[in-house]
Amino acid sequence: MELEYDGTGYAGWQRQERCMSVQQAVEEAIERLTGQKTVIHASGRTDSSVHALGQVIHFDTDARISGEKFPVALNSFLPKDIRALNAEEVRSEFHARYHAKAKMYRYTIDNARHASALYRNFQMHVHKPLCIEAMQEASDMLIGTHDFAAFQSTGSMKRTTIRTITMSEIKKEGRIITYTTVGNGYLYNMVRIIVGTLIEIGLKQRTVKSMQDALISKNRLLAGSTAPPHGLALIKVYYDDFSL
């Protein structure tokens, strides 16, 4: 099943004891619909206030509801800031996380003097002008297979910090700047640290070369600050033989 959600009111994807998570909200909705307690598995966790346009989940159910009709039925039980978009039955061995081959993330920046009142929960506001050319030159350095140790927050438990990025693109339309990336995996806060570094480069607070220096050094202290979570959204998850 493919989900879209506004992460503003949730403590991230994963279930927590004292705070409402997206996972809990969806599991409770499925239980109300089917009468069965269900554990759902996502392609990956999103942090508090991070959004998704194309999160993919899988779960087992005995409910006699076809895959194509499941989203319509489930949306009647979901809160308005979570929507089921598409669903289909898959083979029993399919796993939303372990079979994912790549993900697309997008970070949105509102580069205007005054922040938007309407989109404040979905865009990071930067009131000083950003140099798009410098940001794109730096983001191009991320394409390929690299050790991204400098772009992970402390506490990450990943076995390896090597990742492959196939898309790293800056675009500007009016006051809105977006950074879009596609990769085979991401470290904890990796996209947000990349964006924080790009913003500092765009503000001329650091050089374009500093992006490459951080990559080579593997030192978190040589990368930029961590951009806030609300500008980030999971756009799409890619699989070899499965597409919603």
Catalytic residue annotation: 47
| C-alpha to C-alpha distances, 204 to 116, 135, 178, 181, nearest whole angstrom | 24, 10, 18, 22
Q: Convert 210-240 to b/e letters by CB count within 10 Å (16 or more is b).
A: bbeebbeebeeebbbebbbbbbbbbbbbbbe
Residue 9 corresponds to which amino acid? G
Q: Convert 164-203 to b/e letters by CB count within 10 Å (16 or more is b).
A: ebeebebeeeeeebbbbbbbebbbbbbbbbbbbbbbbbbb
Would you report the helix, strand and coil content of the chain in percent, each value rounded to 5? Answer: 25, 25, 50
CA 90 to the chain's CA centroid:
24
Residue 233 corresponds to which amino acid? A
Encoded tokens for 192? 């947000």
